[in-house]
Amino acid sequence: MGRARGRGNWKGGRQEQISCWYCGLRGHRESDCRTKQRASTVRRTTRFRSQQHEATTASASMTRVQALVTSSSSSHGHEWVVDSGASHHICNTKSAFRNLQLLRPPIRILLGDCSEVFGIGKGEISLEVGSGLVLVFTALYTPAFSVSLLSISQLPPKYSIIFRSNTCFIADRRATSPEIKLAILDNGLYRLRVEITYLNQRPKPRVAAALATSQPTLELWHQRFGHIGVQRLQHILDESIPASANLPLCSTCVLGKQHQKIIRTPVPPVSRPFELVHSDVCGPISTPSFSGQGYFVVYVDDYSRRVWVYFVRSKESIEMTSVLQEFLARMEKAYPDWPVARFRCDNGRGEYDNRLFRGILRVSGISFQPAPPYTQHKNGKSERMIQTLVTKARTMLIDAKLPTAMWAEAISTAAYLHERSPSRSLQHKTPYEMLNQGKKPVIHHLRRFGCQAYKLVPPPQRKHRKFGEHSRI
C-alpha cells in the first residue's frame, strides 16, 4: 500500500495529530507555522524602519551622506562642507570642541551605502569663517566621518545663507555688513574656502609691559603700589610727579581703609573723689579660676585712679547688680563724705543695660552715663585700667611659672600694687595718697608674687605634736 502525502506522522496506518506550540492549532509543527513566519517578517520590517528614522533624526540626510562617502578619498581631514539637508552639525576634529561631552550610548548615523558611523560626543564649537564673523554652534563628534558638516538648518536665524553662481554666501540679517563668501561648489559639494580658525586654539597673547605706549598716570601708579599716598609716590618716582599733583578720590581706598575718627573733646576734671566712677567687664577668660569665675568687673575712681576688682561667674544682670550693691555699700561705709555722683560704663547689654541695674542707680541718686554703641574710647579709663591689670598679672604669672588658673589671684595682686604705684596723671602720686590726704602707703611687707612661703600649721592639725613639722610650704 502506497504512502499518502502529508506532513503528519504515520503510525500504524494513521496520521498522528500534532499541535503547533506557537499558534496552538493542530496539523503542523512550530517550524512550519505560517503565522510565526508572517510575524517575523513584520518585526524585521518595523526594525528597519526604526533604524531609518533614527539615522534621519540624529544625522544628516541619506542622500547627502552618501555623496560625502563617495568623495571621501579626496577630502582633507579638517575640511568643512556646507550641507542644506543635514539635520545636525558634524565635526571629525576633536581639538575643535570647547567642551566635549561623551555620549552614552553613542548616536548611530546611517550612511547611504547602508554602513554606519557613530557620534560618540557632543560639544560647542566656535568657528571663525573670516571677516571677523564667528559661528558658535553645537556639533556631534564623529571621528570616523571623512569631513565635517555645517548644517544650514541648524544655524541661528540671524544668519541668512545665499547660493548664487556656484558660491555660498553668509550674511547677518540684523547688521548692514556685506555678504561673506563662505563656500564654493566643487564636485557637487560646497566646500569652505576661507581660512578656518578655532577660537579655543588661538595662542594666548604674551604680556609685555615694556611695549606699553601710553604714559602711566598718577592713578595707575597709585594702584600699582597697592594704593599708597601721593607723598610716598613722589619719593619713589622722584621728578616724574610734580609737587602739586593731587590724587582723585579712590573709592577702593575708601572701602578698604576707612576707619572711625576718634573725636577727643576736653572733659572738665572732677573736683573730689567718687564724683565720677568708671566701670567695665573683662571676659570670658578661657581658663576659669580656681573658684570657678570667668569674668571680673572693675570700678575706677576718676579722681584718684584707684581700682576695685570683683570676680563673677557670668555677666547676668542679677550677679552684676549684686556686685554693684556691694561696691556702693562698701564705699558708703569707707568714705561717707564722698558719695558716688556719676556712673559711666559702655552700656553693655545684659550687665549694665537692664531695668534692675538702672533702678539701683536711680534709688541711690547716681547719674547714669552710658557710652554710645561702638565707641569704646568714651569709656577709655576703665578699658585702659583692664589692660594695665591684665598685662601686670600676665607678667607675674610668667615670672612665677604658675598655672593660668591663678589669674584671679594675679589680678587681685595687680590691683593692690596699682594702688601703691605712682601715676603720671596724678603728678607721680599714688591712688592711696589721693584718698588718704597725702599719706604714704606702707610697702615693706610686699613680697615677690609666687615666691616660697611657709605656713604655720596649728597644733591640732600636726601629725606629731611633739616631733612633727610646725609649718609647711
Q: How does pLDDT run across 371-402, given as a tens digit for each residue?
A: 877 777 778 889 999 999 999 999 999 999 99
Look up cell 576633536; give the residue.
94
Is the Cα torsion angle 290, 291, 294, 297 positive or negative in sign? negative
Kindly tell me the burial class for residue 473, based on how many C-beta atoms sit within 10 Å of its own C-beta (0-12, 13-18, 19 or more). exposed
pLDDT at site 324: 93
Question: In this predicted structure, what is the pLDDT of residue 471?
Answer: 87
Which residues have CB under 8 Å from 350's CB, separation 6+? 315, 316, 317, 320
* Cell numbers placing 86: 543635514
Torsion of CA 96, 97, 100, 102, to 10 degrees: -40
pLDDT at 430: 93
**Parallel/antiparallel/unpaired status of strands 342-345 and 276-282:** parallel
**What's the whole-number mean pLDDT along residues 242-252?**
76
Give the confidence band of 295 by pLDDT, cuts at 50, 70, 90: very high
High-pLDDT (> 90) share of the chain, %: 28
Per-residue confidence band for 46, with pLDDT thresholds at 50, 70 and 90? low
Query: Is the pLDDT assigned to residue 213 strictly greater than 60?
Result: no
What average pLDDT does the segment 50-67 reach? 42
Dig out the grid coordinates for 394 from the structure.
600676665
pLDDT at 218 exceeding the cut of 90: no
Fold of 59-201: Cathepsin D, subunit A; domain 1 (2.40.70)
Residue 185 is predicted with a pLDDT of: 86
Q: How far is CA 17 from CA 30, 57, 203, 390, in A?
A: 14, 51, 84, 113
Backbone angles phi, psi at 215, to 5 degrees: -80, 125
pLDDT value of residue 109: 73
Query: What's the pLDDT band for 12 if we cut at 50, 70, 90?
Result: very low
Could you tell me the pLDDT band of residue 293, with boundaries at 50, 70 and 90? very high
Q: Give the range among 123-132, 195-204, 323-332, 358-367 with minimum mean pLDDT.
A: 195-204
- pLDDT of 347 above 50: yes
Would you tell me how many other CB atoms lie within 10 Å of the CB of residue 471? 10
> Which residues are registered as beta bridge partners of 344?
278, 369
For residues 335-343, give the mean pLDDT.
94
Q: Answer for the pair 313, 322: CB distance below 8 angstroms, yes or no.
A: no
Q: Please, what sign has the CA dihedral across residues 319, 320, 323, 329?
A: negative
| Res. 5: pLDDT tops 90 | no
Calpha distance 269→36 (Å, rounded): 116
Name the E strands within 357-462. 367-370, 455-456
As separate numbers, helices (DSSP H) first and strands (DSSP E) second, the chain gives 10, 20
Tell me: pLDDT of 92 over 80. Answer: yes
CA distance 62 to 110: 7
Q: What is the pLDDT of residue 277?
A: 95
Fold match, 59-201 / 276-435: no
* Cβ atoms of residues 71 and 79 within 8 Å: no
Q: What is the pLDDT of residues 309-333, one digit of tens each?
A: 999 999 888 899 999 999 999 999 9
Confidence of residue 100 (pLDDT cuts 50, 70, 90): confident
- DSSP-derived 3-state class of residue 438: coil
> What letter would DSSP give residue 55?
H
pLDDT band at 45 (very low <50, low <70, confident <90, very high): low
Q: Where are the domains of the chain?
A: 15-55, 59-201, 276-435
**Mean pLDDT score across all residues of the chain:** 79
Q: For the domain bounded by 276-435, which CATH number is listed?
A: 3.30.420.10
Query: Is residue 57 over pLDDT 60?
Result: no
- For residues 10 and 91, the model is more confident at 91
pTM score > 0.95 for this model? no
pLDDT > 70 fraction of the chain, expressed in percent and rounded:
80
Convert the pLDDT of each residue in 261-285 to its tens digit: 777 777 788 899 999 999 999 989 9
